[in-house]
Structure 1
Amino acid sequence: MIKDTSAQDTVVSPSVSKRFKQPLLWGVFALGLGVLLWGTVTASTANHSIARADLRFATLTKGDLIRDIATSGKIVAANAPVLYSLDKGTVTLLAKPGDEVAKGDIVAEIESPTLLNNLKQQQALLEGMKSSLQRAHLNARRDLIKAEQTIDMAKVDLDAAARESRRGHQLIADKLISQIDFEKNEDDLKKAKMLYGHAKQEAGLMKDTLAFELQNLEAEVNRQVLVVEELKRQVEALAIKAPVAGIIGNWLVEQKARIEANAAILTVVDLTAFEAELMVPESYADDLGLGMEVELSFGAIKVMGQLSSISPEVRNREVTARVRFAQQSGLKLRQNQWLSARVLLENRKDVLMVKRGAFVTSGGGREVYVVEGEQAVKKSIRLGARSSSHVEVISGGKPGDVWVISSIHDLNGAEQVLIN
């Protein structure tokens, strides 16, 4: 009878692989369970993922924010006078567009036979009036001499009458003449005195009359002189001169064209006086003010200027502004040269700010994604002043925060996004 199988059992020592197999299986099971749990947690918190290379990031910092307007414009001549004709005629253009001219150089000539003929006629009339004036002077001298002769003759008659009166007094005293003869002598004396007095008055009146007539003739001659001088000025103005030193801009008429009076002929551009003409978006029009600082960029060269004028009207949803700036000797400018500009509106000191990005417009300035570890979390924010490169953060951030500054539309509005 066999009691059990103990006699048949043999003790076998376990192998090394079998001793580690079971702990290894338990480790693999625990790792898989952890990965599953981590995936579950991650899926519950981040329901969207995006590649880091598809996003742009910026760190919030504190500093001075210069609120500005970025725009563009062109160089225009502050002084570009247009030259006009003073009379109708045939124009001859002596300077071509682009030619350099000095102040006072003749750039065009107008041939006006009508004006030249009128000048000659008025000059001949002036010579005739001058001859008449000289003749009037001679006649006045002759009349004055006759008046003096009349006075002298009246004086002789007066002296003779006075002498007869004295003799009459002696004779009447000696009773050698009658009373009638004595009274006649006295009457003759009174008559001589009256004639002498009238002769002097006549001479004085004649002198004043001749002076008045000569003065009128001289005034007419002077008026005619002014007419001739004005015609001479107009004839001289037919040779059109450059009012400033610069270059010829554009011809406004054709060579040898027949033009009317006051017709535009050409322009002269003053190369020493330029201004910048900026086109500012209509939305910034209320922020502009005369005297504001403007930074102008001509390639690598930057100069500062000031707003000198702002157009009151809007064209193509833009406002035109003029900038006056100091000319630099090494700055070579040309009419209509393109440039970029920054209008400096204000300078905010020590504000929290972040680089400007597409999140400003895509989020309406109210939402942004903040980087927390490997995730981007959506938060509400409030933005303030904006410049061309930075924007002020009023609430929703602190220095050192990292924001996603690219468009939030790429994140599909998720509350949390995993950044790969």
Structure 2
Amino acid sequence: MIKDTSQQDLVVKSTKVSWKKAVGVVALIGALGVTARAISMADTTGRSFERSALQVATVSRGDFVRDIQASGRIVAANAPQVYSPQAGFVDLLVKAGDTVAQGQVIARVNSPTLTNELKQQQAELARLRDSLAREQLEVRRETLTLNRSLELAKVTLDAAERENRRAQLSIKQNLISQIDLEEAVDDLARAKLNYQHAQQEVALGKDTLAFELAAASNLVERQQLVVDELQRQVNALDISAPVSGLVGNLFVQTKAAVTDQQALMTLVDLSAYEAQLQVPESYANELGLGMSVVLKVGASEVYGKLSAISPEVSNREVTTRVRFDHSDMGGIRQNQRLSARILLDSKEDVIKVRRGSFMNSGGNVVYRVEGEVATRLNVRTGASSVNEVEILDGLSPGDQIIVSNYEQFEHAPLVQLR
């Protein structure tokens, strides 16, 4: 007996779909679409890379400074070497690294030969001085003799003049004969002649004595010059520091035998520093004296100007010198390493982009980023600096390009970014 139809009925659940499930289904379909598009794009481009692994830079407009990178070291602008003034044995009074003041005795050379020569010449000078003193005494004696002969001749002349006057008076009074008168006249003439000769002899004698005295004095003066020069050389055996600074390299050991003009040591003047930079020879023709240089010494930046450029190329590099704008700089040391930027020229209102490894490919091709795709473009670049590259054609301000290396792209026209 059939009671009812409950066993034949089935419970049917509501088929109303929830809106949350609908949204989920749509999102899933969209994700599948994006994945399919990415797979399709990857198949088209052949390349897909992580965006985070690439360097992207934005093209901008502004002032462009063209510079080059160089490395170098701090050197002393004045680092004189000290030389031995004579052959002998040297005593070094300082050590490497010691601080010295200008004029301080830093080494002493013992030269027995030079010292002995000085003593010999000093003895010769003393002998010549004694000879000069003896000559001065002789001159005084000879001068006295000459004066006496002249005075005696004068006395004789005066006596002859008196006798002549007496004879002239006596002949008028017929007290003497004519012969006596003539004899008195002859005596007067003889006395005058003797006096004249005496005057000439005295003048000649004094000139001779003055000449001999001057010759003796000249010998003394000449010998004095010889002694002074030897004394200067002996004094120079005590070698003084030409500048204030530090003792650099020592080229000899103390008590060592040295030759004339042999280098002993180097002094470093701490009051004047310069930077010595090594610049690639490809930029040699663009360098010029007076160009501005930015140097990074440790954690600080200092400024200077090119003061010297080597005329030769060594190891494909050109050596330059940079003089600092300010001399009162602290915290720098001799041979301290540094990096520098030499500012070649500057331009205003140009399109530029950050420099990167993409320049290794020649700088004629870039990959411009548009959304998830990077497209290969031909561009024309201009001047380049350490940090930036000038864009002449192919890009506009605001464009984004990949500036990392392009070798991994293998010249693909499109690159997918994930």
The answer, yes or no, to whether TM exceeds 0.5 is yes
SS at match of 2:79: coil
Summarize the Cα distance change of 1:351–1:39 in structure 2 as closer, same or farther, 3 Å threshold: closer
Structure 2's unaligned 5+ residue stretches are 1-12, 16-25
Q: 1:112-261 alignment to 2 at 5 Å?
A: 112-261=111-260
Aligned to 2:380: 382
Alignment of 1:341-356 (within 5 A): 341-356=340-355
Cα deviations by residue, 1:29-66 (Å, 9 ceiling, x for unpaired): x9999889968984796443333223211111112222
Indicate the residue corresponding to 2:53 in structure 1: 54
SS in 2 for 1:139: helix
Percent sequence identity over aligned pairs: 50
* Structure 1 contact 46–416 (Cα < 8 Å) conserved: yes
| 1:281-320 alignment runs, 5 A limit | 281-320=280-319
Amino acid at match of 2:146: A
Q: Which residue identity is paired with 1:383?
A: T
- DSSP-derived class of the 2:221 partner: helix
Of 239-248 and 272-281, more deviation after overlay is shown by 239-248
Number of residue pairs matched by the alignment: 396
Q: What SS does the corresponding residue of 1:124 show, helix, strand or coil?
A: helix
Q: Structure 1 residues 33 and 297, CA, compared in 2 at 3 Å: closer, same or farther?
A: closer
What 5-or-longer segments of structure 1 have no aligned partner?
1-14, 18-26
CA distance in 1, matches of 2:35, 2:59: 36
| 1:358 partnered with 2:357 | yes
8 Å CA contact 2:161–2:188 kept in 1: the answer is yes
Separation in structure 2 between the aligned mates of residue 390 and residue 161 of structure 1, nearest angstrom: 120
Q: Does the CA-based 8 Å contact 2:47-2:415 persist in structure 1? A: yes
Residue 185 of structure 1: CA displacement? 2.7
Answer yes or no: is the 8 Å Cα contact 2:68–2:385 preserved in 1. yes
What is the root-mean-square deviation of aligned Cα atoms in Å? 2.8
SS of the residue aligned with 2:133?
A: helix
Q: Residue 396 of structure 1 aligns with which residue? A: 394
1:391 maps to amino acid: V
Aligned-partner Cα distance in 2 for 1:76–1:328: 13
Structure 1 counterpart of 2:20: none
Given that 2:305 and 2:325 are in contact with CA atoms closer than 8 Å, whether structure 1 keeps it comes out as no
Please identify, of 353-362 and 228-237, the stretch whose mean Cα deviation from structure 2 is larger: 228-237
1:184 partner SS: helix
SS of the counterpart of 2:222? helix
Residues 196-215 of structure 1 show CA distances to partners (whole Å, capped at 9, x for unaligned) of: 12212222222222222222
Classify 1:395/1:179 alpha carbon distance in 2 versus 1 (closer, same or farther; 3 Å): farther
Which residue of 360, 364, 367 maps to 1:369? 367
Q: Residue 383 of structure 1 contacts residue 394 of structure 1 at CA under 8 Å; is this kept in 2?
A: yes
Alignment TM-score, normalising by the size of structure 1: 0.86
Range with greater deviation from structure 2 (274-283 or 180-189): 180-189
For residues 256 and 62 of structure 1, the distance between their equivalents in structure 2, rounded to whole angstroms, comes to 69
Task: Go from structure 1 to structure 2 and tell me whether the alpha carbon gap of 1:36 and 1:277 turns closer, same or farther (over 3 Å shift).
Answer: closer
What displacement does 1:105 show? Answer: 2.0
